[in-house]
Amino acid sequence: MFCTAADWAGGIVEVALTLDPSPDGREVMKGELKMTTQHIPPEWAFEFHGHECPFMPIGYRMGKLALAYLGTEHEADHGFFIFPELGEGHPQTCMMDGLQAATGATYGKVLMAKTFYGKLAATFYHPQKGAVRYSLLPDFVDAMGKFEFFAYRKRGVEPSQIPLEVRREVIQWTYDQPDEVIFKVEARPDFTYTPVKGSFNKTKCGICGEYVFDRYLRMKDGQPVCIPCSGYEKSVLIER
């Protein structure tokens, strides 16, 4: 049975499970259903993400756990930061949409910056509360990878085109796993981050006439211009 957020509301479900081989060679969880996670993404998070897959819910759960670990709440403004270690050109970056939905630390508020390490992990930072790193345990990743969902993905089938029961099988399995089976948690007491100071100052580009925020202005032939009109290479510096 696939559980939605509404199905799980009001209780925490845990599973005391062990990995046992199934007849098809896939490891399956067996054991007694107890109390485990209530961190199930709401329907709007799946709609925002665009499809049902296991990694958006994993990111959502990771984000909720990090908020609880640091003793803070969903970020309304600009005071909580996430540094996912995912990169590009590899699967499972869907985690980042779950992180945003869970925490309010969104790209639009400039509260999330990828490190491009190509790892299934993220560091969460609050200036007054400190920092913590969550990563996916290899045994969990290996066990999840044996589900039929990933056979489809390796053949190039997009998640929305995978049969619904196949998608929901692996999603439900992730919901059933205890936190300690999924995540490695590491305090990062020495982690610091200095965000770029915000400014409303802007200037019209001397060539195209469009506004440019001043920190991105370049000079060309004695006049301020935007990066595309300047011909300069764009560079992005992430300060940590």
Read off the pLDDT of residues 64-73 as tens digits, 9 standing for 90 and up.
999 999 999 9
Whether the CB-CB separation of 49 and 106 falls below 8 Å is answered with no
Three-class SS string for 144-193? HCCCHHHHHHHCCCCHHHCCHHHHHHHHHHHHHCCHHHHEEEEECCCCCC
> What is the distance between the alpha carbons of residues 128 and 107, in angstroms, rounded to a whole number?
21
> What is the distance between the alpha carbons of residues 156 and 125, in angstroms, rounded to a whole number?
35
pLDDT value for 14: 41
Whether the CB-CB separation of 223 and 209 falls below 8 Å is answered with no
| CA 15, chain centre distance (Å) | 24
Considering the entire predicted model, what is its pTM?
0.79
> What is the distance between the alpha carbons of residues 218 and 46, in angstroms, rounded to a whole number?
41
Whether the CB-CB separation of 173 and 166 falls below 8 Å is answered with no
Low-confidence ranges of the chain (pLDDT < 50): 1, 4-35, 238-240
Whether the CB-CB separation of 125 and 85 falls below 8 Å is answered with no
Terminal-residue alpha carbon distance, the chain? 44
pLDDT value for 91: 85
